[in-house]
Amino acid sequence: MLLIPAIDIIGGRCVRLTKGDYATEKVYSHDPVMIAKEMEALGFKRLHVVDLDGARSRHIVNIEVLTRITTETSLVVDFGGGIKSEDDLQKAFDAGAHMVTLGSIAVKEPERVLQWLQRFGAERIVLGADVRDGYVSINGWKEESAIALMPFLESYLSQGISHVLCTDISRDGMLAGPSTELYESIMQAFPQCQLIASGGVSSIDDIRALEAAHVPAAVFGKAIYEGRIDLQELLREFPQ
């Protein structure tokens, strides 16, 4: 199972929010690059970087942090937050992102996202599906759409998307366990999906439960920063 630490960035700092609420910001480090280096030294191969300033302002903001992470580590980085134009998409790739996560724009402008999928390839595009009560949320989780999760996934998976990052907003930052049943239902419906489960991971047992549900990958952050998971023990059981 692929394990992906998350670094969320506001003002160049490593932070975490609860349920996407910016008022709950908690700073864990003033040096996200150092955190990335620590994750690499432990044995992780992937990193999920979210530009929360970008998600709020609808264009990439923390590009310098991304550039430093990709130049000072060999981690495979997927980057999201605020990518609404091809200029921003290209900017992320030029800064060294191996993959980009597209969320709000995938809801609002599917034709454009499918064009990018054809141009850049399925291995470089991750579909972001942030879900609340079965429906996809957009614009930094501040706005609800009328699009149900499962048809949304089906429409993109049928047109070539393979990587999906699905976050249950109600679980995000809560350390109360992931929505394993939701992710299991996704894998049953779309066994070809390279699903990345996100939100709520609080222990190694949570990772074990996701693996038992045949989920290929998981993103987690707060459990790391709050010391809920012994990372060395985790990586002994799930070597990357």
Burial 46-57 (b: 16+ CB within 10 A, else e): bbbbbbbbbbee
E-state strands within the chain: 2-10, 13-18, 21-29, 46-51, 76-80, 99-102, 125-132, 135-138, 143-148, 163-168, 194-198, 217-220
Beta carbons of 164 and 198 less than 8 angstroms apart: no
Beta carbons of 105 and 77 less than 8 angstroms apart: no
Could you give the 3-state DSSP secondary structure of residue 54?
helix
Residue 51 catalytic?
A: no
Largest distance between two CA atoms of the chain: 44
Residue 206 catalytic?
A: no
Active-site residue identified among 51, 53, 130, 168? 130
Active site members: 8, 130
